[in-house]
Chains A and B, each alone.
Chain A
Amino acid sequence: MRALSNNSILNTKKFFLIYFFCIFLLIILFLYSLSLGPVYLSFEKVLQACFQSEDTFERRLIVETRLARTIMACLVGSSFAVAGVMLQSITKNPMACPSLLGVTQGAGLGIVVILALFPFCPLPVYLSCAVVGGIIASLLTYIVAVSVGISPLRLILAGQAINALLYALTQAILIFLPTRAGVILINLNGSVAGANWQQLTYVAPVLILLILIAIFNIKNLHILSFGKDVASSIGLRTEFLIAFFLFIIVLLCASSVSLAGPILFFPLIVVHFSKFVVGENPTHLLPFSIVFGAILMLFSDCLMRVVFANQEVPVGFFIALVGAPILILSSRMKRLLKNA
């Protein structure tokens, strides 16, 4: 932990260096993701297709199928990351993660319920149901956590029980949807394979707006991360701010879930890695994790596509494999023990 706290006094120059390196990495991954697929395109062709207005085969292939998937992976990754950072700053709990507190699973349940009742509902309805599901689930976790007593470990335990409950309900409802179950099931494990422009045009503006709101609130987040007392002594309306941030977190998660399904552990991985690199100061952590979230999501998607070339393996599996050990490690962190 001492190494981490030293890291947080990272000077600005070094931070920008890391930041630009990551953006560079992201761009390369972006192009690589565009070139991947049943028809492999070389980098040159991808670049040509992107910057020429001629209507070639490659251009169509990229714009109509691969670009949506790539953009979606970036967006979903970034917004999960933002949600994770905000949640950890608010709760001051290194294990907090929207996917462990029932928020994403709740959004997933909302979607499954609305699909069971109205199979062909328009997209905005679909999205709002995800939001409602997420809000209900997070309220449930909150109520339980308050009555159980909020210690970091117990909060996660309560979240896990609610997660299990919501998961069981989701699976039970899926039994009644035999025709669409296969598609939804893949999506429920977290996958960006179902990307299409129609969904993206609805959800992308919402996500970008929410991420921007988060960025503009970095200062408040930073102050909140020092604790309620400090924040209210400066004159912040802490209760209002926390509620507002929680609402943003739920919105971010629900919208991402409606695109890619509940990806377990993803925010946790991003936040922990980002903390390791740039320290715990939200002013550095938030921008870095936005970029890193996008990188991780794109990377895992590309990896799954390369390793399992002829079938669609959800990204969620890979993330769960990486994420579970990180959860175990984070439960062993010394700082946590002092609080617990």
Chain B
Amino acid sequence: MLKVLNKNIYLFILFFLLLLLCYFYLMIGISSFSVLEVWNVLTNNKLISGTQFVVGDVRFPRVIIGILCGAMFAMSGSLLQCVLRNPMAAPDILGVNSACSLFILLFTFFIPNSFAFSNLIYAACGGCIGFFVTILSSLENKRINQTRLIIVGVAVGALFKACCQFIIMQSDERQSSLVSFLTGTLYHSSWNSVQQIIYPACFLIFITFFLYRQLDILLLSEETSSSIGFKVTKWKVIVILLALMLASVAVSGSGSLGFIGLIAPNIAKILFGYSHKYNLFGSCLIGATLTLLSDLIGRIIFPPYEIPAGLVSIIIGAPYFLYLMKNIGRYK
């Protein structure tokens, strides 16, 4: 549809928008700062302790976590939609996110003394289990029924979510921050949590970008791709595992942000077409932008209170989901 040059320009515009949004995000809030003040903090110039604290230690980690998690959810959605050939597939729709949250909660509840990257490992286990429960229960004659896949995913999600709520009710007050895993929020971001997820996140995102050729081939019919010597099953498994890892790292960073993994890839498809070379970058940038935007809206709409980013993203995403359902015929 679009020429290559145009796509590059689109990507650049998106990137620029994201940067602008970040800067804006750092500026406004309950206490707002001027452009110059934020710039001074970012360049370590003329430090004022109050501004330094709010912008550098409270908002900046939040921006990083927001961008990383949004990008990862979006990428995970892209991969799943490609492999399952279902435009409504996404980690939160397929029950992966709630399974990750459940496992994180379970293990932090029963094994309080956790080691460095424990959350990531728990989340990864949970994500795999959730995904395979969903896939196994939607199989029919060894094929996946597309509409049923979504319903089963929603049901599995509800199941794991009920377990999560149950565990939260059992836990005492000091673990009340665990509640955030259910709705998804950037509220608890700190430099510590950035340290936890930044290496695996960058690594996974980096790897995924190199897979764009394989992803493009996966979009073809199975006969075509195997006739050119492409090992379909092997790559499918790799891509699915990658998607699950992306989702679980994202969940351990920000909790389950609803609908980001669903909307971002679909917007990217509209803007950049189906070729994954641009599509992946696009969906990444859009996911990050949407997440930051949801958090920003949640933060500034009713100042003393904060609406978690996960709720805002559901409120934005659900209508889009309905719109998508209406047009799903066109994708097949």
Q: Chain A interface (Cβ within 8 Å of chain B)?
A: 95, 144, 147-148, 151, 153-154, 156-158, 160-162, 164-165, 167-169, 171-172, 175-176, 189, 264-265, 311, 313-314, 316-317, 320-321, 323-325, 327-328, 331-332, 340
Contact = CB atoms under 8 A, between A and B. Distances in A.
B237 interface: no
Interface stretch (B100-108, B204-212, B222-230, B311-319): B311-319
Contact of A168 (B165, B166, B305, B314): B314
A313 B302 contact: no
B44 to A, nearest CB: 36
A328 B322 contact: no
Nearest to B140: A332
Contact of B183 (A157, A171, A176): A171
A164 B318 contact: yes
Given A171-B183, A172-B315, A327 B155 contact: yes
Interface in B141-168: 147-148, 150-152, 154-156, 158-159, 161-163, 165-166
Per CB-CB distance, the 8 closest pairs between chain A and chain B, nearest first, are A320-B162, A324-B159, A165-B318, A168-B314, A327-B155, A153-B147, A168-B311, A324-B155
B306 A168 contact: no
Given A169-B315, A324-B159, A328-B137, A157 B325 contact: yes
19 contacts: A147-B326, A153-B147, A153-B151, A154-B147, A154-B325, A157-B154, A160-B151, A162-B322, A164-B314, A164-B321, A175-B307, A176-B302, A313-B166, A313-B169, A320-B161, A320-B162, A321-B162, A324-B158, A331-B151
Contacts of B310: 168
Given A165-B315, A168-B318, A175-B305, A157 B150 contact: yes
A153 B161 CA distance: 22
Contacts of B163: 321
Majority secondary structure, A binding face: helix
B258 interface: yes
A171 B165 CA distance: 14
Given A175-B307, A313-B169, A161 B151 contact: no
Contact of A264 (B148, B158, B308, B314): B158
A267 B305 CA distance: 36
Contacts of A158: 322, 325
Given A161-B318, A332-B148, A175 B156 contact: no
Contacts of A147: 326
Nearest to B169: A313
A290 B306 CA distance: 43
B155 A172 contact: no
B237 to A, nearest CB: 24
A183 to B, nearest CB: 14
Contact of A331 (B148, B306, B308): B148
Contacts of A314: 169
Contacts of A340: 147
A50 to B, nearest CB: 33
Contacts of A160: 151, 154
B322 A148 contact: yes
Contacts of A324: 155-156, 158-159, 162
A118 B148 CA distance: 42
A144 B307 contact: no
A206 to B, nearest CB: 29
B156 to A, nearest CB: 7
Nearest to B163: A321
A165 B147 contact: no
A286 B319 CA distance: 35
Contacts of B148: 153, 331-332
A161 B311 contact: no
Nearest to A324: B159
Contacts of A151: 147
- Name the residue in A161, A165, A325 with the highest tally of chain B Cβ atoms < 10 Å from its Cβ: A161
Contacts of B161: 320
A144 B322 contact: yes
Contacts of A320: 158-159, 161-162
B195 to A, nearest CB: 29
A154 B145 CA distance: 13
A331 B166 CA distance: 26
Contacts of A169: 315
Contacts of A172: 307, 311-312, 315
B326 A328 contact: no
A317 B311 contact: no
B325 A148 contact: yes
A169 B258 CA distance: 13
Contacts of A311: 169
Given A176-B302, A317-B165, A320-B159, A165 B319 contact: yes
B258 A168 contact: yes
Nearest to A171: B311
B147 A157 contact: yes
Contacts of A144: 322
A167 to B, nearest CB: 7
A328 B138 CA distance: 8
B307 A328 contact: no
Interface string B262-291: 000000000000000000000000000000
Contacts of B325: 148, 154, 157-158, 161
A171 B311 CA distance: 8
A318 B158 CA distance: 12
Contacts of B258: 164, 168
A175 B318 contact: no
Contacts of B158: 264-265, 320, 323-324, 327
Nearest to B311: A168
A19 B165 CA distance: 36
Contacts of A164: 258-259, 314, 318, 321
- Name the residue in B159, B319, B322 with the highest tally of chain A Cβ atoms < 10 Å from its Cβ: B322
B155 A328 contact: yes
